Homo-oligomer: A and B are copies of this chain.
Amino acid sequence: MANLDLMRELSVQTDSKIVMLVADGLGGLPGPDGLSELEVARLPNLDQLASESICGVVQHVLPGITPGSGPGHLALFGYDPLVFDIGRGVLEALGVDFEMGPHDLAARGNFCTVGHDGKITDRRAGRIPTDLCAELCDLLRQIKLDGAEVFVEPVEGYRWLFVLRGEGLEEGLTETDPQREGMLPLVVEARRPEAERAARLTNQFVEQATRLLKDRRPANMVLLRGFSKLPQMPSMEEVYKLRAGAVAVYPMYRGLSKLAKMQVFKGGKNVHDEIEVARKIWNDFDFLYIHYKWSDSAGEDGNFAGKVRALEELDDAIPALRSLGPEVLMVTGDHSTPSIMKAHSWHPVPFLLHCSGFYPDDVRAFNERDCRNGALGRFMATDVMPLAMAHAGKLAKFGA
C-alpha cells in the first residue's frame, strides 16, 4: 500500500494527460532464428517513439512469477497484485461484462460429465460448444434459492459464470471441483463462519442443478470454483486525482478497469477504432488506458508470424495515438506471451515512457533486449504510475 498512500498524499490535479497503451502479452522470446517477435516485426513508429523516450523492462509481480491478466493490469495501474486479489469467479464476471455489485459472490462454473456412481469422468464435459452451454445455463436459471438471487451466464465452451446475490454472502468457501477425474464432486464448505450462508445456498443450487441435468449427456453435472467477491480497491480518482478512462474491445479489460473505478468505453473492433474513441473522449479525461488484445491472442496460439503481424498493426496506429498529444505516453504489456511457449510467461516486459523532462538513454528499438538496457532498467510495474504522474507534473514533493 506504500505506493498508493504516497500517491494519495502527493498527487495534484492538473490538465496534463497520460495515456497508457497496454499491448497484451507484449514480451516474447527468440524464435528459431534467434530473434523475438518484437525484433522480427517492422516497427518504425514504435522504434522512433522508443528513441525519443526512456525505456526499461517491467516486472509485474516478482521475478519468476507469471502474471494472469488481472494481476498484470492491476500492477500497471499501481495496485500491488499481492495485496489486491482478484478471484477466478470475479474474473469470469468481468470477462462477460456482468455488472458485479458489493453483495455478489461469483464463481467459475464448469459443465462436466459424471458416471452412474456420480464420479467425474470428464471435467470439461467433452468440451461442449458455447451454444449448448448457453442452453444449459437457461435450464439452470429455473433454480430458485431462499433469500438470494442466482445468476447463470454462459462464458465459452463448457465454462459459465455463477453469481449469488444477497446480504451476508461472504468469501471463504471450498470448491466443488476436486480437480481430478474419478472423484465425486465435493460439497462446498465454509472455511469461516461468515461464509456459512453462502455455502448452504451454493449446495442447494448444486442439488437442484444435479436434478435438472441428470438426463443430459455429456454435460450432466456442474463444478464450481474460485468463489470471490469484488476486491475493495480505492479508485484511481481518489489515489491519483485523475479522471480515468479505459478503452478496450474485450469486456475482461473493461472489467479490470472498473475495479479501479475507471469510466469504461467499448473500443470497437480494432486499435484504430479504439484510438477514435479515445479522440472523442479526449477532453473528459486526464488518464486513458487503451488495451490492445491481439499480440496476446497470437502468442497464446503459438503463432509467431501472427504475433509479428499483430505488433506491426499496433505500430501502424502509433502516429494516430501520438497525434492526440498526451504529455505522457506509455507503451507496455501486462505480461509476456512468447509464441514459443503458447502461454503467459514470467519474463519482464518492454516499456517506454514518452514525456518531457528526462535524461535520454540509448534505446533505439522497442524490444526485449534494447529496453533491458534502457534508463529504467528492470523495474516493478507498481512504479509505472508514480513515474507517469511525476513526468506529467502531477506529483508534489515528498517532505520539506
Interface residues of A, Cβ cutoff 8 Å to B? 2-3, 6, 10, 29-30, 36, 61-71, 81-82, 85-86, 88, 91, 226, 338, 340-341, 343-347, 357-361, 368-369, 372, 375-379, 383, 385-391, 395-400
Contacts and interface: CB of A to CB of B under 8 A. Distances in A.
A369 to B, nearest CB: 7
A185 B396 CA distance: 23
B400 A70 contact: yes
A341 B359 contact: no
Contacts of A64: 383, 385-391, 395
A86 B398 CA distance: 10
A398 B67 contact: yes
A340 B64 CA distance: 35
Nearest to A340: B357
A212 B385 CA distance: 48
A390 B66 contact: yes
Contacts of A372: 359, 361, 375
Given A29-B358, A359-B29, A386 B63 contact: yes
A299 to B, nearest CB: 14
B386 A344 contact: no
6 contacts: A63-B383, A63-B387, A64-B385, A67-B397, A346-B387, A361-B372
Residue among A67, A343, A375, A396 facing the most chain B CB atoms (10 A cut-off): A375
Given A62-B3, A387-B63, A399 B81 contact: yes
A368 B377 contact: no
A398 B68 contact: yes
A62 B386 contact: yes
Given A369-B359, A400-B91, A66 B379 contact: no
Nearest to A83: B2
Residue among A2, A341, A399 facing the most chain B CB atoms (10 A cut-off): A399
Contacts of A358: 29, 347
Residue among A226, A347, A398 facing the most chain B CB atoms (10 A cut-off): A398
Contacts of A378: 377
A368 B357 CA distance: 14
